[in-house]
Amino acid sequence: MIKEIKKLGYQPHIMRGVERTVIGAIGDERKNHTLETLVAWPQVERVMPVQKRYKLVSREGHKANSRIKIGKDIVIGGEEFVVMAGPCSVESEKQLMTTAVAVKAAGAKLLRGGAFKPRTSPYEFQGLGEKGLKLLAKARKETGLAVITELLSQDHAEMVAEYADILQIGARNAQNFQLLIAAAKTGRPVLLKRGLSMKVEEWLLAGEYILANNNPNLLFCERGIRTFETYTRNTLDLSTVPIIKQESHCPIVIDPSQGCGRADLVVAMCKGAVAMGADSLLIEVHPNPAEAWSDGAQQVNLEIFGQLMKELKPFAQAAGRTMA
Amino acid sequence: MIKEIKKLGYQPHIMRGVERTVIGAIGDERKNHTLETLVAWPQVERVMPVQKRYKLVSREGHKANSRIKIGKDIVIGGEEFVVMAGPCSVESEKQLMTTAVAVKAAGAKLLRGGAFKPRTSPYEFQGLGEKGLKLLAKARKETGLAVITELLSQDHAEMVAEYADILQIGARNAQNFQLLIAAAKTGRPVLLKRGLSMKVEEWLLAGEYILANNNPNLLFCERGIRTFETYTRNTLDLSTVPIIKQESHCPIVIDPSQGCGRADLVVAMCKGAVAMGADSLLIEVHPNPAEAWSDGAQQVNLEIFGQLMKELKPFAQAAGRTMA
Amino acid sequence: MIKEIKKLGYQPHIMRGVERTVIGAIGDERKNHTLETLVAWPQVERVMPVQKRYKLVSREGHKANSRIKIGKDIVIGGEEFVVMAGPCSVESEKQLMTTAVAVKAAGAKLLRGGAFKPRTSPYEFQGLGEKGLKLLAKARKETGLAVITELLSQDHAEMVAEYADILQIGARNAQNFQLLIAAAKTGRPVLLKRGLSMKVEEWLLAGEYILANNNPNLLFCERGIRTFETYTRNTLDLSTVPIIKQESHCPIVIDPSQGCGRADLVVAMCKGAVAMGADSLLIEVHPNPAEAWSDGAQQVNLEIFGQLMKELKPFAQAAGRTMA
Amino acid sequence: MIKEIKKLGYQPHIMRGVERTVIGAIGDERKNHTLETLVAWPQVERVMPVQKRYKLVSREGHKANSRIKIGKDIVIGGEEFVVMAGPCSVESEKQLMTTAVAVKAAGAKLLRGGAFKPRTSPYEFQGLGEKGLKLLAKARKETGLAVITELLSQDHAEMVAEYADILQIGARNAQNFQLLIAAAKTGRPVLLKRGLSMKVEEWLLAGEYILANNNPNLLFCERGIRTFETYTRNTLDLSTVPIIKQESHCPIVIDPSQGCGRADLVVAMCKGAVAMGADSLLIEVHPNPAEAWSDGAQQVNLEIFGQLMKELKPFAQAAGRTMA
């Protein structure tokens, strides 16, 4: 084994116990051949890496919080607590404008809205496409809100980047590395949702694909993981707020709408996220959730959203954040 | 099928679609034979219950919040936000008294401490047993803190109830129904931890065992569920705060120590729980976590605990709660 | 740290890398204070154990397969492939006798049947209790089948052991260590089901409680784990067959009925289990599943069971096993 | 509600119970607006769909097994049990040819090998790209084996289709619908791996994207799901064999290498899959796993593979399948 470890470029170090011998291998797995394969030797029981596999997203090498500048005067990751809100899907000019005006009035800084929708079934509404992007751009012009929308296909990267201030990568594409690279290369800030069953380490490594492709403007977004629980659609893992803060310098955004899949839980989840130190919220808002073309169950109406924004303020203040 | 449904005591109701026929069956499954077994008929594809299976713990029949009185002057589920704190295991008089005095000074109202410990391995420290209970009683006498401790065995129910103000049922015993019944029968308030892979409905039904055995003093305690994530020991599901509030009249307590298994995340999780409307926190505190006999990784020291209690106040206030 | 490790009874061993220093600690965690708590020191990032925590159940120290003798002439873990079958719950003499006679005729060697039932809701049928045990004993007398039944409460250990040839510990009690100890002490063979979210290591350690209490007659039984999938009630993890064979000398039994919760999948799961090297199957069989008092959806009828036994033979043969 | 349901194009049907009223809505959700959003109304507690959401992949409308023809004379889904084998990654001409010749001699019909590799970290080996595809084509020419390889990017669909007999869609891309559509449009047979946390219904719906884009040649491939267990890399869900057979007419392939992530479990898992009725296996084989450039821990060597193929035959025979 000693010979094999040296051959792969590491310096071996032996510790003998009574039942097992542990061999330390000193070297950088990001530069050398991985040692994991040594488990294929019959005398090897386990290979346990001690090195962190991510580097550019890590706080170890970048102590200060990254502040992501969006448009002219929005900063995510700074003192201000920023809210992004809007419908799950862009459905019509009227629906989008009504929502945009209302969320702006309530204090949101970015407008969300899906133009390209990843749908579990081919028979479901797939989004308005570029027409939806144009409506988002129009809403931006009229309200001054910045725009965040999902990028679904590498082929659309340039087009979506033209209309959007932040490119959103959805949970189902969180390890679609070709899409991550295409998004990074547009130069736009990228909001990377956590995959449905993505470990924190894998999420950080997916983020590493953005920074390694020369785009420093990355936001992590927790949106619920898949568990055995069926009361909620997903289990929103709020522990990611302190975890991302600890492991990375990039901002952390919470999506309570996808996170629970139930509008009746959104208000409480938002309060928790703010209190725990999240930098931003991504909230689904619809003028009439019962008639939404997608995910009506998880969208709050305009009135609840307005009320929520008021209720969040004392928590933002207690967390040392300002809020418009 | 119609005949079979009638035979089981329900009133059938037919709806014909193009591909499937739906038969509604009206009746109370808590009084009649379950209908689930009808799926054994080849012509039945699925049986879908619409009735809630819990009753006594449900908010439907008990709109007001239950306020659980502990000792002389503690109430959980009322306006005051109550903190329970103490070591994972009772190890010695000195360790317990040091902790009790410190958590009392910081504002805790109950002292936690395990005398009987459920341990994954038979070779791990199993607790001091009754000697530990006596130390807890002594700490209560000297500090005025009420005591919460785990009940592990039906045979100890009377003994533990003699020393404790709240009986804790651990996650691994959350569906040990014999233990639940024994705990209920002591008449002491019962804190029921959520099992590692317990759905909300199952947790409510386990709680139903307490109330159905004539003990109205039930507290639900979320302590993290088991998921694929390995960064944390468990995934603390804070959505249970609004969910339990919605489904039940019983108080909800959050245990961030077991919940994450990492002391460095405890402070943030506590803030989130308070902001979301939890009634109480159960926090593991140890004078010297690095030398703890069990679960040192998740216990905070006295200094961090004192600081935490101060930091929680503005969040409690924002949530409309008082805190000592 | 070096001092601290020595203080806890281990011999430290240092390896310096560029970004991290790894300290090996040589010693036996089953005899010394656990090292896990060292993570409480700020300079410690992680503690990674290399020692296996189980010992008596481990194949490392006991190379040959354990053969568990049941009654006079049944051996589980030997060349013969043994089938245990019977209803989920004992409901009546007629139901039990009909089933016993039929499964005996089809080649089963043990009769299963629940007399004490752990039920999610307090409003569901809880079993016939001792009356059920007496019916099982009667069926044994009349058919010659050995009997396996669940032990639910430590207080019943002696009573159940009087009637049963194998004591079954259910999934919800798999970490009810008091019950495990009580079961072990009866001296009867113990079948330990895997808990709903129990890792293999935890399952082996729960088994260790049986052997550490001087009962060498342990059988592991996989019955499905809880996952996100909702098509089946649980996910039957057949990889446990080769895993238990590799890690332990104790036999492995598969329960495909609880494992899937769907009778229509039982036949295929049984074939897989036999082919992979399982020692035994535990199958729920009912004369009329649609009228079963519990879990009708997962019980096969007598005809399907008879057919299944015939279909299993060529697979048992291919796996090098005999089958009655 | 009645009015709202009619407005959305369904025919309502009322059933009144004591505590709840159930309204049936008859109509086809694949043609009308979804009813799920009705849960946004305060008086609606739950919406429960009864219709199956998939259609073209469903066995309901296509009773016979689909037989997928690969190259000139391979059929998957017929009487013959077909094995696909080869290295995780194509590394070199020597490595690939050695493997191809050996697996062909042992009875495999298809050669697998990754030319484009999706890697969790941007610092890991990403595959040889088109050079790898050319080596696969060369191996096909020399051995007569058909070729299966992964399609990672929509932009490569045409290129990969030129070299491959089956396009493989990996687990991380199982809901990358743009990639599914691009794969379908090449006209090549598509092997769709199950996503790490994909429910059976979602998997069938992802398959529906292939058939709905006019490509009837779909194979489902189970490769393990993500659970809490850490002994294995994933939990191989063999219940998918009878489930896919029941729900769909498309063949089911089992990948035991990814499924467990441990070469020492592969042999047993293969036997189980064959016994349960799988149509094919996809096995990772490498001449020297300890020096593999990716996933060495899960690849078996040529000798073990040869032995495995011999051991599978009696199980294939017992399952009524022929095997070369």
CA atoms within 13 A on the CB side of C52: 20
Assigned token pair, C288:
């009329």
Contacts of C121 (CB under 8 A, 6+ apart): B30, B53, B54, B205, B208
- DSSP β-bridge partners for residue D14: D23
Going by C-alpha positions, the residue among A225, A221, A234, A288 that lies closest to residue A261 is: A234
pLDDT score for C239? 98
Provide the pairing of β-strand D11-16 with D21-26. antiparallel
pLDDT score for D10? 84
Provide the pairing of β-strand B166-169 with B146-150. parallel
Q: Per-residue pLDDT averaged across D210-232, rounded?
A: 97
Read off the pLDDT band of D16 (50, 70, 90): confident
Assigned token pair, D51:
């219709």
Contact B317 A317 (CB under 8 A): no
Average pLDDT across each block of 10 residues of chain C; the chain has 324 residues. List them in order: 84 80 79 77 79 90 95 95 97 98 98 95 92 98 98 96 98 97 98 98 97 97 97 97 98 95 94 98 95 87 97 98 92
The model's pTM: 0.94
Assigned token pair, C276:
């992979």
DSSP letter string over A267-289? Answer: HHHHHHHHHHT-SEEEEEB-S-G
Size of interface B-C (CB pairs under 8 A): 130
pLDDT tens-digit profile of A115-166? 999 999 998 889 999 999 999 999 999 999 999 999 999 999 999 999 999 9
CA distance C174 to C183: 12
Shortest distance between the Cα of A16 and any Cα of chain C, in A, equals 8
Contact D225 C227 (CB under 8 A): yes
Provide the pairing of β-strand C280-284 with D11-16. unpaired
Going by C-alpha positions, the residue among B206, D163, A231, A208 that lies closest to residue C123 is: B206
Q: Which residues in chain B have Cβ-Cβ distances shorter than 8 Å to A315?
A: 275, 315, 318-319
The percent of residues in chain B predicted with pLDDT above 70, rounded, is 100
CA distance B103 to D113: 61
Query: What's the full length of chain A, in residues?
Result: 324
Contact D238 C272 (CB under 8 A): yes
CA distance D181 to B282: 51
pLDDT score for C8? 82
pLDDT tens-digit profile of B139-177? 999 999 999 999 999 999 999 999 999 999 999 999 999
Contact A237 B241 (CB under 8 A): no
**Through-space distance between the first and last CA atoms of chain A, rounded to whole angstroms:** 61
- Could you tell me if A180 and D180 are in contact, meaning their C-beta atoms sit under 8 angstroms apart? no
Going by C-alpha positions, the residue among A250, A247, A245, A311 that lies closest to residue A276 is: A245
More reliable by pLDDT, D308 or D27: D308
CA distance B51 to D124: 52
- Could you tell me if B311 and B83 are in contact, meaning their C-beta atoms sit under 8 angstroms apart? no
Q: Per-residue pLDDT averaged across A184-206, rounded?
A: 98
Q: Which residues in chain B have Cβ-Cβ distances shorter than 8 Å to A268?
A: 239, 241-242, 276-277
CA distance C202 to C225: 13
Q: Which residues in chain A have Cβ-Cβ distances shorter than 8 Å to D36?
A: 296-297
Which of D10, D13, D45, D55 has the highest number of chain B CBs within 10 A, making it the mutation to test binding with B? Answer: D13
CA distance B46 to B39: 6
More reliable by pLDDT, C233 or B296: C233
- DSSP β-bridge partners for residue A146: A110
The percent of residues in chain D predicted with pLDDT above 70, rounded, is 100
CA distances in angstroms from A146 to A166, A190, A257, B258, listed in the order given? 8, 14, 20, 41
Contact D177 A119 (CB under 8 A): yes
Minimal-distance CA residue of chain A relative to D122: A209
Which of C239, C243, C271, C323 has the highest number of chain D CBs within 10 A, making it the mutation to test binding with D? Answer: C239
Going by C-alpha positions, the residue among C273, A182, A26 that lies closest to residue D242 is: C273
Read off the pLDDT band of A105 (50, 70, 90): very high
pLDDT tens-digit profile of D93-139? 999 999 999 999 999 999 999 999 999 999 888 999 999 999 999 99
Average pLDDT of the residues of chain B: 93
* R_g (Cα) of chain D, nearest Å: 22
Going by C-alpha positions, the residue among D299, D256, D270 that lies closest to residue D91 is: D299
3-state secondary structure of B323: coil
DSSP-derived letter for residue D61 is G
Assigned token pair, D157:
């669909």
Lowest model confidence (mean pLDDT) among B97-106, C27-36, D302-311? C27-36
Query: What's the full length of chain C, in residues?
Result: 324
Which residues of C lie closer than 8 Å to A, measured between beta carbons? 13, 15-20, 22, 24, 26-28, 46, 48, 50-51, 60, 197, 226-228, 230
Burial of residue D82 (CB within 10 Å: 0-12, 13-18, 19+) is buried
Containing A16, the helix (H) or strand (E) segment is: strand A11-16
Which of A1, A28, A30, A34 has the highest number of chain D CBs within 10 A, making it the mutation to test binding with D? Answer: A34
Shortest distance between the Cα of B222 and any Cα of chain D, in A, equals 18
Select from D20, D28, D60 the Cβ nearest to the Cβ of B50. Answer: D20
Size of interface B-D (CB pairs under 8 A): 46
Minimal-distance CA residue of chain D relative to A211: D122
Shortest distance between the Cα of D280 and any Cα of chain C, in A, equals 15
Residue C66: how many other CB atoms lie within 10 Å: 20
DSSP letter string over A110-167? Answer: EEE-BSS---SSTTS----THHHHHHHHHHHHHH--EEEEE---GGGHHHHHHH-SEE
| Lookup result for tokens 């133009």 | A115
Identity at D49, one-letter amino acid code: P
CA distances in angstroms from A261 to A222, A226, A269, C34, C281, listed in the order given? 13, 12, 12, 42, 40
CA distance C274 to D272: 8
Going by C-alpha positions, the residue among B82, B323, B87, B272 that lies closest to residue B191 is: B82
pLDDT score for C165? 98
CA distances in angstroms from D302 to B31, C117, C228, D112, D307, listed in the order given? 62, 50, 36, 14, 9
Burial of residue C322 (CB within 10 Å: 0-12, 13-18, 19+) is exposed
Average pLDDT of the residues of chain A: 93
Torsion of CA A258, A263, A268, A271, to 10 degrees: 60
Contact D276 C271 (CB under 8 A): yes
Shortest distance between the Cα of A167 and any Cα of chain D, in A, equals 17
DSSP letter string over C230-277? Answer: -SSSSB--TTHHHHHHHHBSS-EEE-HHHHHS-HHHHHHHHHHHHHHT
Residue C4: how many other CB atoms lie within 10 Å: 18
pLDDT tens-digit profile of B155-165? 999 999 999 99
- Could you tell me if D52 and D60 are in contact, meaning their C-beta atoms sit under 8 angstroms apart? yes
Provide the pairing of β-strand A218-222 with A252-254. parallel
CA atoms within 13 A on the CB side of C107: 18
Contacts of D25 (CB under 8 A, 6+ apart): D5, D10, D11, D12, D13, D35
Instruction: For CA atoms B96, B98, B100, B106, give the dihedral sign.
Output: negative
DSSP letter string over C35-89? Answer: SGGGGGSTT-------S-S--SSBSTT--SPP-EEETTTEEESSSB-EEEEE-SB
Which residues of D lie closer than 8 Å to B, measured between beta carbons? 13, 15-20, 22, 24, 26-28, 46, 48, 50-51, 60, 197, 226-228, 230
Minimal-distance CA residue of chain B relative to C226: B197
Phi, psi of A125 (to 5 degrees): -55, 125
DSSP-derived letter for residue D4 is H
Size of interface C-D (CB pairs under 8 A): 121
Contact A225 B227 (CB under 8 A): yes
Shortest distance between the Cα of D104 and any Cα of chain C, in A, equals 24
pLDDT score for B29? 74
pLDDT score for B23? 83
- Could you tell me if C89 and B33 are in contact, meaning their C-beta atoms sit under 8 angstroms apart? no
**Measured CA angle at B268 (ends B264, B269), to 5 deg:** 100
CA distances in angstroms from A110 to A129, A248, A266, listed in the order given? 20, 23, 18
Angle between helices B263-276 and A263-276 (to 10 degrees): 130
CA atoms within 13 A on the CB side of D191: 30
pLDDT tens-digit profile of B245-294? 999 999 999 999 998 889 999 999 999 999 999 999 999 999 999 888 88
DSSP-derived letter for residue D24 is E
Shortest distance between the Cα of C216 and any Cα of chain B, in A, equals 15
Which residues of C lie closer than 8 Å to D, measured between beta carbons? 197, 199-201, 225, 227-232, 235-239, 241-243, 246, 259-260, 264-265, 267-269, 271-277, 314-315, 317-319
Select from C4, C120, C297 the Cβ nearest to the Cβ of B40. Answer: C297
